[in-house]
Structure 1
Amino acid sequence: MLAGCAGSSGGAQGGDGTARDRDAAPSASAARRWQPRPGTTWQWQLSGRLDTSVPAEVYDIDGFDHTAATVAALHREGRKVVCYISTGAWEEFRPDAEKFPASVLGEGNGWPGERWLDIRRTEVLEPLMAARLDMCRDKGFDAVEPDNMDGWRNRTGFPLTAADQLRYNRLIARLAHERGLAVGLKNDLDQIPQLVGDFDFAVNEQCAQYGECERLKPFTDAGKAVFHAEYELPPSRYCDQSRALRLSSLRKTYELTAWRRTC
């Protein structure tokens, strides 16, 4: 369900050969898209009965498990809603699992029933991910959290490179933007310098535990929220740094139930 936090070994070099004009004027769709700012409060719940009483501006919930009615109800309460889907790993329990050919399924990612995907195979994965993003859009979500976006730093069973990951992550960002959805970069700290312009916010696990939170500054410096969760450290160990870096930090359990602690 959740991707592990990538280690700090070496920054990724190069991109996918695509020149990008960071100074270009935003498109009309970008102007209409939700743009969460640093310090935006959030709740992350992917298991258990959804608790809609949490005082947070943003809810990040499972895109498959929740209906358009749930999203609409959160909107009526003034919340923005993020659609959690996995884009870098296959999950045997999803309704579209049988549409993934065995040739794109790699090693397990550490969570039961999940296996890394061969992200080089975009001719197979693009239509499958487009369909998932269609679901997020059609249910009325404001944004998407695409998980398992750092396969190149893990043992996937495939010889993935930094360039493969950049190409795939930018594909996911483009597909989300084409549907009017904001999109967050999940972990993949090594590639933040190359990808901050492609994503609208970041989602990070355990940057404080691994001493990596400073690496998220490109997002907050660009006026983009960083939604951050720790599982093992008490808030007293990271909240001062989180406030200084303008991170939106939570203490959560690995199961991502409704329970949370804020700074």
Structure 2
Amino acid sequence: MSLINRVRSHGRVPVAAAVAAALITPLFLTSTADGAVQAVSLPPAHGNFDYQIGRPYTPPTGVQVVSRDHTASPAAGLYNICYVNAFQAQPGAEDEWGDLLLRDAAGDIVYDEGWGEAILDIRTDTKRQRIAAKVNTWIDTCATKGFKAVEPDNLDTFTRTDLISESNAKTFVRLLADHAHRKGLAIAQKNTSDFSLARDETGLDFAVAEECGEWDECGDYTEGFGDNVIVIEYQEKAFKATCAAFGSRLSVVLRDVDVSAPGDSGYVRKTC
């Protein structure tokens, strides 16, 4: 899921919550494809989570982990995950990508119709390297701003077109993972439960899973990532079922699908 960038504001959090997050954030050793060992910090398992990739706001009391867009600033004192749209172009941003957009046999740009986003062409090593170079500038910004992890969205783009393969997706995300690790950032597997046992290939450290309860996939993520799974549900019924089955182990939040902010008419946020 990816959203058009919107107006953002900065928030502050209580000192007690910041201290609690710092005390329980675990260190994790990972390695890049060339064998270099890096130390990154993972989000605290079962930490109170808020998904703010639409418009940032002051996190509710008790929140330990926040995900925000790479154009925003991290929430002070908390574990912050940086959202980047890595496999698709933002709506209206086609001109920024030129020949790196995926085209069909007729030469037409291939879109993710659900979000109106042009799909990036990760089929060749040359184009993967060029796309990664651009995405990695965003990852660099995440690191500079003080985020602790990055969340590259639309890993599952290959399920929307037969022009891109699973292998293309794994190879590309590994480029991003290695770069993130070199910058001291953990990196999340965003959705794509089938990849959870392929961590040696992808280099991914934890999971951010949308609607795994809705689709009965949460166990697939825990099989590969243990309790290092953050779950976002958008339906009340699925949220309650996920809380019953995994609420004592995983970070689970119910949000509105537009990921809006308090004061907006559609704003929804609940935790187990």
Is this a same-fold pair by TM over 0.5? yes
| Distance apart, 1:172 and its partner CA | 1.3
- Please give the alpha-carbon distance, in whole angstroms, between the structure 2 residues aligned to 1:249 and 1:232: 12
Please provide the CA RMSD for this pair: 2.4
Q: Give 2:166's aligned amino acid.
A: A
Other-structure match for 2:258 = 255
Which residue of 142, 148, 154 corresponds with 1:148?
154
Other-structure match for 2:203 = 198
Q: Give 1:181's aligned amino acid.
A: L
- Please give the alpha-carbon distance, in whole angstroms, between the structure 1 residues aligned to 2:115 and 2:168: 25
**Alignment length (residue pairs):** 226
- Please give the alpha-carbon distance, in whole angstroms, between the structure 2 residues aligned to 1:79 and 1:123: 32
Does structure 1 residue 171 correspond to structure 2 residue 168?
A: no
Other-structure match for 1:12 = none
Other-structure match for 2:53 = 46
Q: Verify the 8 A CA contact 2:189 2:204 in the aligned structure 1.
A: yes
Q: Verify the 8 A CA contact 1:202 1:219 in the aligned structure 2.
A: no
Residues 14-25 of structure 1 aligned to structure 2 (within 5 Å): none
Other-structure match for 2:38 = 30
- Please give the alpha-carbon distance, in whole angstroms, between the structure 2 residues aligned to 1:115 and 1:136: 23
- Please give the alpha-carbon distance, in whole angstroms, between the structure 1 residues aligned to 2:198 and 2:115: 32
- Please give the alpha-carbon distance, in whole angstroms, between the structure 1 residues aligned to 2:192 and 2:253: 19
Counting aligned pairs with the same residue, the percent is: 27
For each residue in 1:56-83, what CA deviation from the matched residue of structure 2 results, as whole angstroms up to 9, or x when unmatched?
111101111x13xxx2xx33xx311111
| Distance apart, 1:112 and its partner CA | 4.5
Q: Give 1:253's aligned amino acid.
A: D
- Please give the alpha-carbon distance, in whole angstroms, between the structure 2 residues aligned to 1:58 and 1:108: 32
TM-score, normalising length: structure 2: 0.74
| Distance apart, 1:146 and its partner CA | 0.6
| Distance apart, 1:26 and its partner CA | 4.9
Q: Give 2:244's aligned amino acid.
A: D
Other-structure match for 2:78 = 79
Which residue of 184, 205, 216 corresponds with 1:211?
216
In structure 2, do the counterparts of structure 1 residues 60 and 195 end up closer, same or farther at CA, with 3 Å as the change threshold?
same
Q: Verify the 8 A CA contact 2:48 2:271 in the aligned structure 1.
A: no
| Distance apart, 1:111 and its partner CA | 4.7
Q: Verify the 8 A CA contact 2:111 2:119 in the aligned structure 1.
A: yes
Deviates more, 1:235-244 or 1:131-140: 235-244
1:55 alignment partner, SS class: coil
In structure 2, do the counterparts of structure 1 residues 116 and 35 end up closer, same or farther at CA, with 3 Å as the change threshold?
same
Which residue of 113, 136, 145 corresponds with 1:139?
145
- Please give the alpha-carbon distance, in whole angstroms, between the structure 2 residues aligned to 1:176 and 1:236: 34
Q: Give 1:99's aligned amino acid.
A: E
Gapped runs of 5+ residues in structure 1?
4-24
| Distance apart, 1:166 and its partner CA | 1.2
For each residue in 1:83-136, what CA deviation from the matched residue of structure 2 results, as whole angstroms up to 9, or x when unmatched?
111001111456xx6431144244222355422211222132021111111111
Q: Give 1:199's aligned amino acid.
A: L
Does structure 1 residue 57 correspond to structure 2 residue 60?
A: no
1:202 alignment partner, SS class: strand
Q: Give 2:128's aligned amino acid.
A: T
- Please give the alpha-carbon distance, in whole angstroms, between the structure 2 residues aligned to 1:26 and 1:187: 21
| Distance apart, 1:46 and its partner CA | 1.9
Does structure 1 residue 99 correspond to structure 2 residue 96?
A: yes
Deviation >4 Å, runs of 4+: 25-29
| Distance apart, 1:44 and its partner CA | 0.4
1:176 alignment partner, SS class: helix
